[in-house]
Amino acid sequence: MATSDPVYLRVVEDIRRQINDGTLLPGAPIPSRAQLTRKYQVGETAARHALRVLAAEGLIIGRVGSGHYVREQPELSPLHRWRFLDHPAPFAADLQSQGRRVTWDWHSEPAEAGPDIARRLRVDESVTVSRTRYVFRGDGKPLQLATSYEPIEFAAHSEDERRSLVTRMSAHGIKITEIVESVRTRVPRPTESDALDLPAGVHVLHVERTHWAGDRPVETSDIVIPGDRFQVVYSMPM
């Protein structure tokens, strides 16, 4: 029955097995297209397809002019979402605690809410909110994108920005009572691939976070994280 399987799958499965069981260690070269065609007695199309599938799975990486290599599986750095609740940039705090030199740019501007943000902030679609975009970098390399939305009356002025959201809100007499985050995975948008310098085939974790004051949302943000480098950690005391 396995005889009717596509030929390229035979190659994929054989190489995958060798990577999984450690026969091929990270960094090890994969046979080239030409070598695969000879070794497995398949056409170039099959060899090529096999390599592309393995690359899409993130198991190997192709370098033009050089060859395909077993991909070094980068450690998944944990982002502890609750550990730095009251911090101007909780993302950065967690990254710093891993010993990275974290820098970030941000830019704030008014923007129309639009359907998605309108729903999340419980305002009208045409309402103008304050949108702040962040780019976080570790040792110069981009690590995370975040876009935060707040009702314009609470918006941070430049001097305020160093203070955390919780502090800023309490200045308006608003007490944050709950933070809700939902995590999903998806394909990066082209701009995100660009900004985060993502290899092909890497998904992102998209965290949608909302700060609540009672039953009223006061801030919501989208946090986009390279799925091959980070995992998101939540801990809940009983």
49-88 residues in contact with its own copies (CB under 8 A) are 56-58, 76, 78, 81-82, 85
Nearer to its own copies, 102 or 165 (CB): 165
Write the CB contacts of 90 (distance below 8 Å, at least 6 apart in sequence). 81, 83, 84
**Does residue 65 belong to the site contacting DNA (CB under 7 A)?**
yes
DSSP-assigned letters across all residues of 114-170: HHHHHHHHTS-TT-EEEEEEEEEEETTEEEEEEEEEEEGGGPPPTTGGGS-HHHHHH
**Total residues binding DNA (CB under 7 A):** 26
Beta pairing class for 77-80 and 102-112: unpaired
**Does residue 135 belong to the site contacting its own copies (CB under 8 A)?**
no
**Does residue 39 belong to the site contacting DNA (CB under 7 A)?**
no
**Does residue 191 belong to the site contacting its own copies (CB under 8 A)?**
no
Distance between start and end Cα atoms, the chain: 51
| H runs (alpha helix) in 21-152 | 33-40, 44-56, 90-96, 114-121
Q: CB 75 → DNA: shortest distance, Å?
A: 24
Q: State the residues that interact with its own copies by CB under 8 A.
A: 13, 56-58, 76, 78, 81-82, 85, 166, 175-187, 190, 201, 203-205, 208, 227, 230-238
Q: State the residues that interact with DNA by CB under 7 A.
A: 6-9, 30, 32-35, 37, 42-46, 49, 51-52, 55, 62-68
